[in-house]
Amino acid sequence: MGGADYSEPGAYFITICAAERRSIFGKIDKERIILSPLGEIVRACWIEIPEHFPRASADQFVVMPNHMHGILGLTVGARYIVPFDREARTPEKFQKPVKGSIPTVVRTFKAAVARRAKKELGISSNDIWQRNYFERVLRDGKEYADASRYILENPQRWEWDRENPEGRIKPSRFE
């Protein structure tokens, strides 16, 4: 079987941060995100991911002032594939991207945002994204539901978010 588990649904929880974690994608007002023109480009490019990668689904997502969270699903046919065995995964190598892989999808997404931002807003790509991103495999329905809820509730928690440069430390339950 090659170490891949084809029986369980799987997806990836992705977090991508703005360069220097600057709040360039928008602002939170009354627990709602108000996107900047750059934030609108980020949103549009995320939604377009399945148009460029037919085996990818761009599920729940939120663009926050200085980062974004989203769930990317990769499918083989109609089933998700998330190999349990790291050795079974096809590793990416420099100058040898794996077609349709999470690193390729994320890299292409970030590049698409950078191209549109340069064309429409005159913004340099170096001023948009932090170099890397965070990914976590969602192995079951509970993890998927928890990640979805986290994404949807993120604007309401911005005041306490550690990514918020103006945020407050959440009070302990004893205060």
- What residue ranges define each of the domains in the chain, with the CATH number in brackets? 11-160 (3.30.70.1290)
How high does pLDDT run on average in the chain? 79
Query: In which region does residue 28 sit, left (phi positive, over 0), alpha (psi from -120 to 50) or beta (all else)?
Result: beta
Q: What is the predicted pLDDT for the residue at 1?
A: 32
State the pLDDT confidence band at 24, using cuts at 50, 70 and 90: very high
State the pLDDT confidence band at 51, using cuts at 50, 70 and 90: very high
Helices (H), ranges, 4-56: 37-47, 49-52
Three-state SS for 67? strand
Q: What is the predicted pLDDT for the residue at 43?
A: 97
Backbone angles phi, psi at 33, to 5 degrees: -85, 130
Question: Of 26, 93, 34, 106, which is closest to residue 66 (Cα–Cα)?
Answer: 26
State the pLDDT confidence band at 160, using cuts at 50, 70 and 90: low
For the chain, state the CA radius of gyration. 17
The pTM assigned to this predicted structure is 0.77
